[in-house]
Amino acid sequence: MIRVTLPPHLRKLSHVDGEVELDVEGRVTQRSVLDALEARYPMLRGTIRDHVTQKRRAFVRFFACGEDLSHESPDTPLPEAVATGAEPFMIVGAIAGG
């Protein structure tokens, strides 16, 4: 079970409270986690990564286990603690003014 935290606007958009728990088949990477997230919550497609290029939106960042993973390859395996559900994969809106 993969745990994902969303920023408040995206929690509201997807009608969830607290963390999201996802089953991810195969390797646990940014791409596989986001694929599973968007399959569960299709209203999030386009809000975290571009529809076409699949690149992370500029003001969205990814963290886990105290590390900034925003600039990692989307196919790099996420930390073991994320894959086991011990730590959440955090999707964060950049602090960039009101």
Partner 1 sequence: MSGVRVLVGTRKGAFLLTSDGKRERWDISGPHFAGWELYHLKGSPADAKRIYASQSSGWFGQIIQRSDDGGKTWQQPGIPPGEPTTTPDGMPKGESNKFVYDTSSETGKPLTTHQWYDGTPHPWEFKRVWHLEPALDDPDTVYAGVEDAALFRSTDAGKSWRELAGLRGHGSGDKWAPGAGGMCLHTILLDPSNPNRMFTAISSAGAFRTDDGGKTWQPINRGLHSLYIPNPTAEIGHCVHRIAMHRSRPGVLFMQKHWDVMRTDDAGESWHEISGNLPTDFGFVIDVHAHEPDTIYVVPIKSDSEHFPPDGKLRVYRSRAGGNEWEALTKGLPQSDCYVNVLRDAMAVDSLDKCGVYFGTTGGQVYASADAGDTWAPIVRDLPAVVSVEVQTLP
Residues that bind partner 1 (CB under 8 A): 7-10, 13-15, 38-43, 45-48, 51-52, 57, 59-60, 93-94, 96
Q: Minimum distance from CB of 22 to partner 1 (Å)?
A: 13
Identify which of residues 2 and 10 has a Cβ nearer to partner 1 in the complex. 10
Identify which of residues 45 and 77 has a Cβ nearer to partner 1 in the complex. 45
Q: For the range 87-90, what are the long-range contacts, defined as Cβ-Cβ under 8 Å and sequence gap of 24 or more?
A: 87/3, 88/3, 88/4, 88/5, 88/19, 88/64, 89/2, 89/3, 89/4, 89/5, 89/30, 89/33, 89/62, 89/64, 90/4, 90/5, 90/62, 90/63, 90/64
Identify which of residues 1 and 96 has a Cβ nearer to partner 1 in the complex. 96
